[in-house]
Amino acid sequence: MAKYDYDLFVIGAGSGGVRAGRLAALSGAKVALAEEHRVGGTCVIRGCVPKKFMVYASEFAHEAEVAEGYGWSTGERIFDWKRFLEAKDREISRLSGIYVTNLSNAGAELVHAKARLKDAHTIELVGKGEVTANKILIATGGRPWKPTEFEGAEYAITSEEAFHLPELPKRIMVAGGGYIAVEFAGIFAGLGVDTTLVYRGPNILRGFDDDVRAHVAEEMKKRGVKIVLGSQHASIEKTDRGYLSRMTAGGDIETDLVMFATGRKPYVDGLGLENAGVALREGGAVVVDKFSKTNVDNIWAVGDVTDRINLTPVAIREGAAFAQTEFYDNPTTFDHDMVASAVFSQPPVGAVGMSEAEARHVVGKVDIYLSRFRPMKTTFYGGDERCLIKLVVDASTQKILGCHVVGDDAPEIIQMAAIALKMGVTKQQWDSTCAVHPTLAEELVTMRDKYVPQGAAA
């Protein structure tokens, strides 16, 4: 008789957990997953997917303006938030259902319960008893974090609630400068909400290239987002008309809703990791090695709960590498270098590799190629939006270290650029690629002159 109920027990049926659990089950292992909310996790239920639907919905307003410039008469534009929410929720349910079906087809069991460790092999399924497993995978993801130390912080919502607002506010303040804050500010502004983005730092999108950060902020302003930098909440007061945000840099701002997108934390609350002796970093992330193994020999962790690169495809690849290593006798690690990412801001960003500042710090001398221009779609109707394309090149080896794009289709463009950068492409090889005309992306392979900032000596 088997010593344990399961070969593998996965806690959390999100991006990482589902991939790992399904692959492990397909190897013939006896696998179960616990999910306390809905199968699909953050990405499908309250992250990437519903967010992208909201971006699509909000972009139509701008597209309609562009359409006018191309000869269309678009008439009165009315957006029905409730109708959108119903369609969004239908699609999310369909996608979640596909995850459930795939797990079941692979032979994995699904338990709808919160799971917590009692010891290194015993899992309590709250309200549903206990099970034991030889191997355990923690894939519990992250949760939004918001400050609580000031008066009225409880009035602010997070991205979790933003997907289910009973109605669209007329005015919103989004606090935060990361990609989630920037994306939601764009969404609300596009949907006609008077939007203010407040961030305590010197500019939005910390961690991205400085030229990208400045460019996105300027373009967002052109689309009507008010950006307040160097300030944060001192308090929030409820008023007859909404919420009054009092700011540390002065200036009170009244809106109907305040949303905090001020970061996320690994979700380890109530997980009982201490009962198994699993080590955590400061801030709560589970400590893992390159095989995603924790300090406890039979426990692994993948995805946002490990706080490495908190993106869906990364969680999936970490989960797959774990399954390959432990259930297919194929030791596999995931290489976290050159992971491309997108910000679905309006206009969107695609980035892979190092920012200019990072590259200067790491390799020293770099060549910069930079182009800011009005794309042909915009010049046609006299619009003033600009794209940005930037390459960061190692001056001695000519290897391209970073590629940054802001403009229509930047997330699609960057996926392809990432292949070349991952392969170690040099600027010369890159330039030997013939352009595709007329596109925005052709500019990437036609930048011949190094960028010299205005006023700098050549």
Q: Which residues lie near ligand FAD (CB under 6 A)?
A: 11-17, 34-37, 41-43, 47-48, 51, 114-115, 139-141, 159, 180, 267, 271, 303-305, 310-313, 315
Q: Which sign does the torsion angle of CA 209, 211, 212, 218 carry? A: positive
Q: How far apart are CA 45 and CA 51, in angstroms?
A: 9
**CB of 272: closest distance to ligand FAD in angstroms?**
9
Q: How far apart are CA 113 and CA 414, in angstroms?
A: 39
The Cα diameter of the chain in Å comes to 78
The residue among 183 and 385 lying less far from ligand FAD, judged by its C-beta, is: 183
Q: What angle do CA 379, 383, 387 make, to 5 degrees?
A: 70
Q: How far apart are CA 443 and CA 100, in angstroms?
A: 43
Token couple for 323: 């399954």
**CB of 77: closest distance to ligand FAD in angstroms?**
26
**CB of 294: closest distance to ligand FAD in angstroms?**
15
Query: Beta strands of 142-294 (E only): which ranges?
Result: 142-144, 171-175, 194-199, 226-229, 233-238, 243-247, 252-255, 257-260, 264-266
Contact assessment for residue 377 and residue 66, using Cβ atoms and an 8 Å cutoff: yes
Query: Beta strands of 284-386 (E only): which ranges?
Result: 299-301, 341-343, 349-353, 366-373
**CB of 381: closest distance to ligand FAD in angstroms?**
29
The residue among 254 and 274 lying less far from ligand FAD, judged by its C-beta, is: 274
Q: How far apart are CA 227 and CA 150, in angstroms?
A: 22
The residue among 41 and 407 lying less far from ligand FAD, judged by its C-beta, is: 41
Q: How far apart are CA 254 and CA 236, in angstroms?
A: 9
**CB of 131: closest distance to ligand FAD in angstroms?**
13
The residue among 107 and 313 lying less far from ligand FAD, judged by its C-beta, is: 313
Please give the positions annotated as active site.
437
The residue among 178 and 375 lying less far from ligand FAD, judged by its C-beta, is: 178
The residue among 111 and 391 lying less far from ligand FAD, judged by its C-beta, is: 111
